[in-house]
A = this chain, B = another copy of it.
Amino acid sequence: MSHGNTGAASDMRVAQSDIDLFRHLENNLYTAVVSDALDELGFWDRAMADHLRPLVPSVRFAGWARTISCMDVHHVDGDPYAIEIEAVDSILPGEVVVVSTGGSRRNAPWGELLSTAAMARGARGAIIDGLVRDVTRIQRLGFPVFAAGIKPVDSKGRGLVMAYNVPVECGAVLVSPRDLIFADFDGVLAIPAAAIEPAIRLATEKALRENQSRDELRKGAYLRDVYKKYGVL
Contact of A233 among B1, B81, B184, B189 (CB under 8 A): B81
| B contact residues around A89 at 8 Å (CB) | 222-224
Cβ–Cβ contact B72 & A169, under 8 A:
yes
**How close is A233's CB to chain B, nearest CB, in angstroms?**
5
Q: Which of A15-63 contact B (CB under 8 A)?
A: 30-32, 34-36, 39, 44, 47-51, 53, 57
Q: Is A135 an interface residue (CB 8 A)?
A: yes
CB pair A186 B75 closer than 8 Å: no
Number of copies: 6
Chain B residues within 8 Å of A93, by CB:
none
Q: Does B120 lie within 8 Å of A88, measured CB to CB?
A: no
Contacts of A227 in B (CB 8 A): 81, 85
- Assuming the A-B contacts A50-B105, A134-B186, A150-B185, are A75 and B166 also in contact, with contact meaning beta carbons closer than 8 angstroms in the complex? yes
A side interface size, CB within 8 A: 80
> How near does chain B come to A99, taking the closest CB pair, in angstroms?
14
Contact B120 A186 (CB under 8 A): no
Residues of B within 8 A of A47 (CB): 151-153
| A152–B222 touching, CB < 8 Å | no
Q: How far, in angstroms, from A174 to B166 measured CA to CA in the complex?
A: 26
**In chain B, what residue has the closest Cβ to A85?**
B223
Contact A186 B102 (CB under 8 A): no
Interface pair A133/B186, CB less than 8 Å apart: yes
A residues neighboring B (CB under 8 Å): 1, 30-32, 34-36, 39, 44, 47-51, 53, 57, 69, 71-75, 77, 81, 84-86, 88-89, 102-105, 111-114, 116-117, 120, 131, 133-136, 149-154, 156-158, 162, 166-169, 174, 184-187, 189, 210, 213-214, 217-224, 226-227, 232-233
Q: A73-B166, A74-B174, A152-B186 are in contact. List 6 more A-B contacts (CB 8 A).
A: A39-B154, A47-B153, A69-B73, A84-B223, A113-B232, A117-B222
